Amino acid sequence: MSENTNLKESILRTSGVNPKKCMKCGKCSGTCPAFDEMEYHPHQFVAMVEKGNIEPLLNSKSLYYCLTCFACVERCPRSVEPAKLVEAVRLEVIRQQNQNHLTANDIPAKLDSEIPQQALVSAFRKYAK
Amino acid sequence: MNFSYYPGCTLKTKAKDLDKYAVESAKALGVTLDEIGEWQCCGGVYPVAKDEIATKLSSVRTLVSARDAGKDLVTVCSACHNVIKRVNYDMQHDENVQLKVNNYAQFETPYHGETNVLHYLEMLRDVVGFDKIKEKVTNPLTGRKIGAYYGCLLLRPSKEMAFDDPENPTIMEDFITALGATPVVYAQRNECCGGYVTVEDKSFATKRCNAVMASAAEYGVEELITACPLCMYNLKENSTDHQLPVHYFTELLAEALGVKE
Ligand code: SF4
Ligand code: SF4
């Protein structure tokens, strides 16, 4: 429990989000372009972090499907900014030792002749520390 | 009209056309873009977490270069613009970021977000003026039905980007009109292309881009314009259904101004 409390506090601190502001309208998830790909949707990130039920989020592929498109941030009527929570939960994982989701060894298989540098730089920023 | 200019990595490699036509069109409009010396990569994505400092330093160095040159800063790539503009917002509003960046960097004059950051389209709208551009068009793109693909990065978060109405933007449509073409508004113009998640799962980018292309086609768009090399890549390489042509907005500008060789 105390470990979970620390985890929750750490996530709230790095995200700057106050999940208590959420009124559970679901608009963030309704507008999320990654809805089908995410097993936990933006409104669930908000509710689960608030409850301290964070373990399932840490292990979810949802962390790597968020596009940081900020649609959920822009359209939330309560300025909760769910994308910042998704980011903070992902950072809890990849900031640990040896938890990078993407490494240089993965890159050759992903290259094609047209892929822009921007895609690789961005993916490393998102998926590795 | 004289600006500091930040092109960014991809504009020197895969997206050379975005850069080249931006610089050539600016010349034709009487605008000088002075490329910042020794600029560094912006990092591609804005570091969202509150405790990120080191990842913001390259953007701050760019902003300080522009400030020290006494000029506003112009960007072209949507991603670079999003990163640099938001880091500048932090340097104006976030005391923790201000303090740590300045303590670390030790600039001759501490930086607090003084630089005015303009996307190239904002420069066209707010400094040159679309009416002026219209006058300079020698090769109007008459009859072409063009859809603006805004994507995410130019518009959101609107509080920080202050680019246009995030849900009903008009700047790119006004740009298209100034070139003599017909802008076509379609539903998915400000929804994500799949972005960097194409590196994680290409099929997801394909799904997103098919949705964008289908929406554009449904509304009668015949070609799309973008300001982002990653949107360009996803739309061109990852769409499988409708494949509308996609151009950088600067290429169309150069064409209309008669400076595209
Ligand atoms: S849109 Fe905002 S208020 Fe509504 S469920 Fe999502 S986070 Fe909560
Ligand atoms: S930022 Fe992430 S969670 Fe929010 S709408 Fe976009 S993809 Fe969904």
Q: What is the pLDDT of residues B143-175, one digit of tens each?
A: 999 999 999 999 999 999 999 999 999 999 999
Mutate to test the pocket of ligand 1, among A20, A73, A78 (most ligand atoms within 8 A of CB): A78
Same domain (yes/no): B157, B113: no
* A82 Cα–ligand 1 center, Å: 8
Provide the domain count of chain A: 2
Same domain (yes/no): A29, A82: yes
Whichever domain contains B82, its CATH number is 1.20.1050.140
Q: B147 — contact with chain A (CB < 8 Å)?
A: no
Interval A64-100: pLDDT, tens? 999 999 999 999 999 999 999 999 999 999 999 999 9
Contacts for B208 with CB less than 8 Å, ≥ 6 apart: A33, B191, B192, B193, B194, B234
Whichever domain contains B251, its CATH number is 3.40.50.1860
3-state helix, strand, coil in chain A (%, to 5): 60, 0, 40
Task: Tell me, yes or no, if the pTM score tops 0.95.
Answer: yes
> By the 8 A CB rule, do A121 and B14 touch?
no
* Domain-located, residue B125: no
Determine, for residues B158 and A74 on separate chains, whether the beta-carbon distance falls below 8 Å.
Answer: yes
Determine, for residues B48 and A68 on separate chains, whether the beta-carbon distance falls below 8 Å.
Answer: yes
Whichever domain contains A86, its CATH number is 1.10.1060.10
* A67 Cα–ligand 2 center, Å: 6
Same domain (yes/no): A87, A118: no
Please determine, for residue B221, whether its predicted confidence score (pLDDT) is greater than 80: yes
Domain coverage including residue B174? 138-257
Same domain (yes/no): A78, A55: yes
Please determine, for residue A1, whether its predicted confidence score (pLDDT) is greater than 60: no
Please determine, for residue A4, whether its predicted confidence score (pLDDT) is greater than 90: no
Contacts for B247 with CB less than 8 Å, ≥ 6 apart: B223, B224, B225, B226
Same domain (yes/no): A58, A76: yes
Same domain (yes/no): A87, A114: no
Provide the domain count of chain B: 2
Domain coverage including residue A116? 102-129
Nearest protein Cα to ligand 1, atom 3: A22
**Coil, helix or strand for A25?**
coil
Same domain (yes/no): A82, A23: yes
Same domain (yes/no): B238, B203: yes
Same domain (yes/no): A90, A40: yes
Same domain (yes/no): A91, A112: no
Question: Closest partner residue to B199 among A68, A91, A120, by Cβ?
Answer: A120
